[in-house]
Amino acid sequence: MTLLDVRDLHVDYGGIRAVKGVSFQVGMGELVCLIGANGAGKSSTLRGLSGLVAARGMVNYAGRELTGSPAFERVRAGLVLVPEGRGIFPMLSVDENLSVGAYARSDNAIEADRERVFSLFPRLAERRRQAGGTLSGGEQQMLAIGRALMSRPQLLLLDEPSMGLAPIVVQTIFAVIRQVNAEGVAVLLVEQNARAALQLASRAYVMDSGAITLSGDAKTLLGDAKVRAAYLGEA
């Protein structure tokens, strides 16, 4: 069953068209990745989907047309972005950052979800009173993902979660992404580490110069000679 159906999405910055009419889908509980070179339009696609930048085209999410809806309404609907660069609140503590993630909720399970985040990322539990800006880069990425999970997303948009992180931290981040997805949260992953993304995802789309140029089963694309030459550094 389709959760996200995107048709002819365009994102412009002034006179520059960053995303040129892309169309793709994400199914319920599916993990899909977008790969491509720097400047291909991957992050702009996620920003357009999340409502952080204006976009044209159709964004149908859970049977609801979201094109033109403000970002906060998309979060309340369960479509949540973890932005490139993490975007945590540096002066707020870990606990306070997590509380911000639950700002739209009024149910009684917020504290249980906070403890769930701490179980996924024990290092955050150890630093729960510490200001976000004093955390390491890996810990800030954990906090950004944890904050998003506090909103109880149905679809998690992840923009470059491994950027600038040590390999051991990347393994932790990817293990949590896999676990969250296994529990039913759909994921749309933008990731420069194309090999890791393709190994994690079930399906993939390849972007180049603002357009989708290739799509298919992730494992099939992992073995595609053109993909291996262009994005995996293999001759």
pLDDT of res. 224:
86
| Per-residue pLDDT tens over the stretch 156-196 | 999 999 998 889 999 999 999 999 999 999 999 999 888 99
Q: Give the CATH superfamily of 2-231.
A: P-loop containing nucleotide triphosphate hydrolases (3.40.50.300)
pLDDT at 105 over 90: no
H, E, C per residue of 112-152: HHHHHHHHHCHHHHHCCCCEHHHCCHHHHHHHHHHHHHCCC
pLDDT of res. 234:
63
Q: Provide the pLDDT confidence category of residue 91 given band limits of 50, 70 and 90.
A: very high
Mean pLDDT of 14-28: 93
What is the domain partition of the chain in residue ranges?
Answer: 2-231
Q: Provide the pLDDT confidence category of residue 232 given band limits of 50, 70 and 90.
A: confident
Q: What is the pTM of this model?
A: 0.94
